[in-house]
Amino acid sequence: MLTTASPVVLAAAIGGGITPIQAADLPSAPLYTKAPCIEAFNPWMIRLRVLGVVPDAGASSVNVAGVPSLSSPNSTLSISDQIVPELDITYFFTRNVAAELIFGVTRHHITGTRALDGLDIGKASLLPPTLTLQYHFTDLGAFKPYVGAGINYSVFFNQSSANTRFAGLAVTDLHISNRVAPAIQFGFDYMVDGHWGLNFDVKKLWLRPDYSATVNNTIPVTGQANIDPWLVSGGITYRF
């Protein structure tokens, strides 16, 4: 004879069978995770630096017309060092490849050496904008070294002859020609945070402009001023 199960027993049996299935269907972890925040790439960087210009003019030539005793190799030029503020702007084409343009103005004192030792020749101001293409190494954390090579165009202006007499000689009519020069560089940025850092940079230029002057208002002097300066700078970096 069939018997009817108690409604309470049936409910318990059905509930006990369903509960494990429902527990197995529940997710054990969130359905999604938040994507990491990636900072947008900004290609611009500027630096404000103190620049030291150190010429190496010992190989400059001097040709004094009709006076071989005062000409090279008996004579050469000396060009003074200079320290000035300097600004550069850098644009990154990629995270590793960039172009840098520097701006600064220096003024140098030119004197004779050897047979012309003590002769004050004059002064000239120099605007040497230099454009380099750089490769930046980016896998060293906050330390970011780079190397570069490029071109310089030096403009000489505000040129003035000393016009002071020394050993019976006085120089007038000083003129130095503008000149294009190759350049190489190496340096590094050390980034304190995502925007600010410290920079050290060294460039070498092979700058050899022609010049002319007059001695005692009658004797022409010509030659090549092998300035060949080292540009050594340090300062602050800001990355936008």
Q: What is the pLDDT of residue 162?
A: 87
Q: How high is the pLDDT of residue 187?
A: 98
Nearest-angstrom CA–CA distance, 222 and 95? 47
What does the pLDDT profile of the chain (240 residues) look like in tens digits?
444 545 444 444 445 554 554 545 555 555 556 655 566 789 999 999 999 999 999 899 999 998 999 899 999 999 999 999 999 999 999 999 999 999 999 999 999 999 888 889 999 999 999 999 999 999 999 999 999 999 999 999 999 998 777 777 888 999 999 999 999 999 999 999 999 999 999 999 999 999 999 988 899 999 999 999 999 999 999 999
Report domain extents, the chain. Answer: 41-239
pLDDT score at 10: 42
- Span 41-239: which CATH code? 2.40.160.20
- The alpha carbon of residue 10 and the mean position of all alpha carbons in its chain are separated, in whole angstroms, by 85
HEC assignment per residue over the chain? CCCCCCHHHHHHHHHHHHHHHHHHHCCCCCCCCCCCCCCCCCCEEEEEEEEEEECCCCCCCCEECCCHHHCCCCEEEEECCEEEEEEEEEEECCCCEEEEEEECCEEEEEEEEECCCCCEEEEEEEECCEEEEEEECCCCCCEEEEEEEEEEEEEEEEEEECCCCECCECEEEEEECCEEEEEEEEEEEEECCCCEEEEEEEEEECCCCEEEEEECCCEEEEEECCCCCEEEEEEEEEEC
Identify the pLDDT of residue 40. 77
Length of the chain: 240
Q: What angle do CA 18, 24, 28 make, to 5 degrees?
A: 145
Dihedral angle computed from the Cα positions of residues 157, 158, 163 and 164, in that order, rounded to the nearest 10 degrees: -110
Q: Identify the pLDDT of residue 154.
A: 96
Q: 130, 88 in Cβ contact below 8 A?
A: no
In this prediction, residue 135 carries a pLDDT of 98
Residue-level pLDDT at 36: 58
The encoded tokens of residue 76 equal 């050469």
* pLDDT recorded at residue 118: 83
For residue 174, CA distances in Å to 55, 110, 124, 218 come to 19, 10, 9, 13
- Cross-strand partners of 110: 79, 122
Contact 216, 222 (CB under 8 A): no
Q: Which pLDDT value is given to residue 25?
A: 56
Distance CA 220, CA 209 (A): 17
**CA angle (204 as vertex; 121, 229 as ends), nearest 5:** 10
In this prediction, residue 165 carries a pLDDT of 76
